[in-house]
């Protein structure tokens, strides 16, 4: 009952719900946009000018705005980075972009698919690292204004999902989702996810869906949460460590990230609620002091950064919890609850939270 997002299947007897997949470009649209980029390059060469590619800046907070319904989204007048073909510092990236554009063009034209890993190993000397390929695929998606999943370039999914779920072939071709689940629980870490499975959490409490992106979620994990919300419209809770890193991961699911702000409309779920572990829970439950961890300078810096995020003004309860963490100067992992009792998380903490409304 544990599946990666690219291919999974779990049958159920409840009625299915139809889904019309939106947000994909047609083959003709994708090919035309790539051709326009190449035409611009050819035109520059015909004028004896060095071709230049303009990439929207995906790392600057100045290029994003916050919308309560969408989250962090890239503004229409965002600044761009010029990738020049005649500049030593950018000529390699220029070549890398053209190479991947040509690969995408062939894939779309032939209606075939390749993984980002395939692209890297096809030209390891050109790209130098897998990270370069990953970033350029996202840059191209942003530049062409085409969802990454429409470019026929696949990423190996790292997320896992289990519970009263679904009959699905892939995120690209979801036709229906079948579930009688009462809620979705996003779990930050794989270790906690596995613990919930070992304790048969969903069967003991009520029909539910649990999933994890194994830390910082990839695009497929975020897409999956969004699909579940769009179709099932059931509560979605986040279960993360009471530390700045866990809070930021939860914010990515709810509000998105600067790097992927150009796809915010299909990746964010503004209804996500913070179930735990809350900093106030640490005090309320009197978690043993030796199970707590002092905040590092890096933690404090991250916490200060989070408190300045534009979306925190709409979440006074989140802000209060984070300020409590600032004051106490300690953090706690979910595993710290085992210091109270070995099965405290699944037998007492989560059931009580879900029954009596202990979320913010």
End-of-domain residue from the set 139, 154, 169: 154
How many CA atoms lie within 13 Å of 129's alpha carbon, on the beta-carbon side? 5
Structural domain including 99 reads 27-154
Q: Collapse the DSSP code of 329 into the 3-class scheme (helix H, G, I; strand E, B; otherwise coil) and give the result.
A: coil
Say yes or no to pLDDT of 3 above 80: no
Q: How many domains does the chain have?
A: 2
Asked if residue 194 and residue 340 are part of one domain, the reply reads yes
Listed range (162-171, 219-228, 246-255) with the worst mean pLDDT: 162-171
At 265-307, the pLDDT tens digits run: 889 999 999 998 999 999 999 999 999 999 999 999 999 999 9
* CATH number for the domain harbouring residue 253: 3.40.1360.10
Residues 127, 166, single domain; the answer is no
Strand bridging mode 209-212 / 184-187: parallel
The most distant pair of C-alpha atoms in the chain lies apart, rounded to whole Å, by 74
What pTM, to 2 d.p., does this model score? Answer: 0.84
Clarify whether residues 259 and 145 are in a common domain.
no
Q: Residue 285: count other Cβ atoms within 10 Å of its Cβ.
A: 18
Q: Distance between CA 144 and CA 162 in Å, rounded?
A: 35
Same domain, 203 and 254: yes
Q: Which two tokens stand for residue 48?
A: 């004896």
Closest C-alpha among 60, 296, 5, 26 to residue 177: 5
Separation of alpha carbons 209 and 262, rounded Å:
28
Query: Using H for helix, E for strand and C for coil, what is the string for 171-236?
Result: HHHCCEECCCCCCEEEECCHHHHHHHHHCCHHHHHCCCEEEECCCCCCHHHHHHHHHHHHHHCCCE
Exposure b/e, 186-195, CB count within 10 A at least 16 = b: bbbbeebbeb
The residues carrying an active-site annotation are 121
Residue 34: which of 154, 171, 150 has the closest Cα?
Answer: 150
Please report where in the chains the tokens 């009688």 appear, as a residue: 180
Q: Which residues pair with 355 in a beta bridge?
A: none
User: Is residue 315 domain-shared with residue 245, that is, in the same domain?
Assistant: yes
Question: Within this chain, do residues 211 and 336 fall inside the same structural domain, yes or no?
Answer: yes
- Give the pLDDT confidence of 92-134 residue by residue, as tens digits: 999 999 999 999 999 999 999 999 999 999 999 999 999 999 9
Are residues 226 and 278 part of one domain? yes
Contact 263, 148 (CB under 8 A): yes
Whole-angstrom distance, CA of residue 110 vs CA of residue 172:
17
228 and 329 housed in the same domain = yes
Co-location of 164 and 150 in the same domain:
no
Q: Assess whether pLDDT exceeds 50 at residue 4.
A: no
Cross-strand pairs, 55 = 81
Q: Let me know if residue 22 belongs to a domain.
A: no
Structure tokens at 25: 């470009």
CATH code of 90's domain: 1.10.10.10
pLDDT band, residue 13 (cuts 50/70/90): very low
Domain end residue (candidates: 110, 131, 154):
154
Q: Is residue 6 part of a domain?
A: no
How far apart CA 251 and CA 286 sit, in angstroms, is 26
180 plus 79 within the same structural domain: no
The sign of the dihedral angle between the CA atoms of 311, 273, 174, 149 is: positive
Express each pLDDT in 181-228 by its tens digit. 899 999 999 999 999 998 888 888 888 999 999 999 988 899 999 999
- Look up residue 4 and give its DSSP letter: -
Question: Nearest 5°: phi and psi at 224?
Answer: -65, -45
Write down which residue in 154, 173, 201 finishes a domain.
154
Per-residue pLDDT at 129: 94
Q: Has residue 3 been placed in a domain?
A: no
């Amino acid at each position: 009952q544990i599946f990666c997002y690219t291919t999974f299947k779990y049958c159920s007897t409840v009625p299915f719900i139809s889904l019309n997949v939106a947000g994909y470009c047609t083959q003709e649209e994708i090919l035309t946009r790539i051709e326009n980029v190449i035409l611009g390059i050819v035109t520059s060469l015909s004028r004896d000018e060095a071709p230049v590619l303009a990439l929207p800046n995906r790392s600057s907070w100045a290029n994003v705005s916050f919308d309560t319904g969408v989250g962090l989204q890239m503004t229409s007048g965002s600044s761009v980075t010029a990738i020049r073909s005649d500049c030593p510092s950018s000529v390699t990236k220029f070549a890398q972009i053209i190479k991947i554009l040509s690969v995408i063009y062939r894939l779309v034209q032939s209606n075939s698919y390749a993984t980002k890993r395939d692209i890297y190993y096809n030209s390891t000397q050109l790209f130098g690292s897998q990270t370069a390929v990953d970033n350029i695929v996202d840059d191209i998606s942003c530049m062409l204004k085409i969802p990454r999943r429409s470019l026929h370039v696949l990423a190996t999914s790292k997320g896992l999902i289990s519970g009263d779920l679904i009959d699905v072939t892939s995120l690209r071709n979801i036709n229906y989702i079948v579930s009688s689940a009462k809620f979705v629980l996003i779990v930050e870490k794989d270790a906690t996810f596995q613990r919930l499975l070992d304790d048969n959490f969903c069967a003991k409490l009520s029909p539910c869906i649990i999933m994890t992106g194994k830390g910082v979620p990839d695009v497929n994990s975020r897409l999956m949460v969004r699909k579940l919300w769009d179709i099932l419209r059931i509560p979605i809770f986040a279960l993360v460590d009471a530390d700045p890193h866990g809070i930021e991961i939860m914010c990515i699911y709810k509000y998105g990230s600067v790097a992927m702000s150009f796809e915010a409309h299909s990746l964010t779920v503004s209804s996500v609620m913070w179930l735990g572990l809350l900093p106030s829970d640490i005090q309320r439950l009197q978690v043993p002091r030796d199970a707590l961890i002092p905040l590092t300078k890096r933690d404090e810096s991250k916490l200060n950064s989070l408190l300045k995020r534009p979306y925190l003004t709409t979440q006074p309860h989140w802000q209060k919890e984070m300020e409590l963490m600032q004051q106490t100067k300690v953090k706690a992992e979910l595993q710290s609850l085992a210091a109270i009792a070995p099965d405290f998380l699944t037998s007492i903490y989560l059931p009580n939270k879900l029954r009596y409304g202990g979320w913010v």
